[in-house]
Amino acid sequence: MSTVKEAIMNGEAVLGIELGSTRIKAVLIDEDNRPVASGSYDWENQLENGIWTYALDEVWKGLQESYAALKGDVKQKYDVTLKRLGAVGISAMMHGYLVFDKEGKQLVPFRTWRNTITGEAAQELTELFRFNIPQRWSIAHLYQAILNKEAHVPEIDYMTTLSGYIHWKLTGEKVMGVGEASGMFPIDSNVKQFDAKMLEQFQELIVSKGYPWKISEILPRVLCAGEDAGRLTDEGARLLDPSGELEAGIPCCPPEGDAGTGMTATNSVRPRTGNVSAGTSVFAMIVLEHALKKVHPELDLVTTPDGSPVAMVHCNNCTSDLNAWVGLFREFAECFGIQTDMNRLFGTLYNKALEGDPDCGGLLAYNYFSGEHITGFEEGRPLFVRTPDARFNLANFMRVHLFTSLGALKTGLDILFRDEGVEADEVLGHGGLFKTRGVGQRIMAAAMDVPVTVMETAGEGGAWGIALLASYMKHKGQGESLGEYLSVHVFADEKGETLKPDPEDVRGFDAFLTRYTKGLAIEHAAVENLD
């Protein structure tokens, strides 16, 4: 306690703040990269005029309140007023569209990653670049605005993301971490900058429009992990801490997206490593050894915070339907006057799934609360289906709902592992699916056919991840790569549990996926006929 207090008083502690979709979290770490204080602020996106958005006033309110909560936590635990910091890092949800004119005025409301309004632009750019451009990428939003002939486009002076915007206001620097930048516009991993050829192709595509800007002029400057991204200005310090107690001049690391901080927080930044986050949605990220042979619309290509290429499989649906069924079992228990602890209920039902048949006994389910681009759905309908001779029991019922939570993910991963021949030595799992020890981990290992490790720190999240990137920048004079720094100084003594895939589980999941793929026609019929 006294060591941590001294570090805070000496301005050696490092701050990381991440703006997630439902919570803004601030984490303070010590010289050993351990979290020592935190604060948070809950918020929600708003649907305005058909656009999912967050108001920038709410951004600053949330940042200030999460920092104030952290500051209060420091005061309570260590009886110290937080004034000085060793470094600061800002992270937020990747992608989206924030544009400003020459005076710094916001031109249109923030368009978040959640919007699916850029289909025409994404398809045209994918064909032009021969590189998959998902709808949520910033360049897709910009080109869709051009196709829509939106009045604000000629006035654009700067285009950025949420983390880039906050960093700009805190430091005055229009920069971006390469991982976050890779969700704006394709990156050339050889030089770790925006792809020069594709920048030229885009400029040629819009040259007839006569805009007063060039695409290369309105994008942020790309930086890699460890590089100096500016310092907290007097104005920036007041924006973060209106009390005026936070000192200016604090070095800031490049702003990053939540994918990059997730890779950092799970030590998954080196080739042949990966991480999978499984909760309401699910995504897997595998660091590549080489470029893919083909363009696959099911796979996003981004980078680690130090610029290595990464393939991402992102799915909209994971545990929502599974959670709904567990809620139904709770309601059933309450009808008999049994008050059930939810953690115990989840644990009991999840473990029951391990008693089921490897292929779920012929049962079939779809967890589609919303659309799923990997399997070709713009809308979803949760379904449970069985044949008369299927082995219908509780174990198989729970097992099929665990399997289907990863069905779309498995579809994308098969393209990556089987069609493209990508290999991974280990994947780090984090998120709600892994809370019941050994169950979600075993199911994930079966789906991926790769060993899955769950670390004790997996729940620390992205705010810790961006704090680690700020810490790496602070200590980079030691000459270590990001992967070396994380392995030696963060995860050397990390306790984790690794499960190798069980061959019988792998065969069972493959058999289930055959049934899952064939049964997609049922899901299509449900979408078409159930309003």
pLDDT of residue 6: 95
Q: Token pair for residue 484?
A: 């070396």
Look up the CATH architecture of domain 266-318+410-501. Answer: 2-Layer Sandwich (3.30)
Q: Token pair for residue 24?
A: 């803004």
CA neighbor of 273 nearest in space, from 309, 298, 299: 309
Task: Read off the pLDDT of each residue in 417-423 and give the average, rounded to a whole number.
Answer: 95
Q: Token pair for residue 271?
A: 């080739």
pLDDT at 477 over 80: no
pLDDT above 70 coverage of the chain, percent? 99
pLDDT of residue 8: 96
pLDDT at 114 over 70: yes
Length of the chain, in residues:
531
pLDDT at 254 over 70: yes
Q: Where in the chain is the domain with CATH 3.30.420.40?
A: 95-160+185-218, 266-318+410-501
Query: Model-level pTM?
Result: 0.90
**DSSP secondary structure letters along 427-441:** EEEESGGGSSTTHHH
What's the maximum distance between 2 C-alpha atoms anywhere in the chain?
71
pLDDT of residue 188: 96
For residue range 334-372, list pLDDT tens digits in order: 999 998 899 999 999 999 999 999 999 999 999 999 889
pLDDT at 404 over 70: yes
For the chain, give percent helix, strand, coil, nearest 5.
45, 20, 40
List the CATH code of the domain at 95-160+185-218. 3.30.420.40
pLDDT at 528 over 80: yes
For residue range 441-475, list pLDDT tens digits in order: 999 999 999 999 998 765 568 899 999 999 999 99
* C-alpha torsion 334→337→339→344, nearest 10: -70
Task: Read off the pLDDT of each residue in 75-82 and give the average, rounded to a whole number.
Answer: 97
Distance of CA 203 to the CA centre of its chain: 30
Position with higher pLDDT, 435 vs 244: 244
Give the amino acid at 148: N
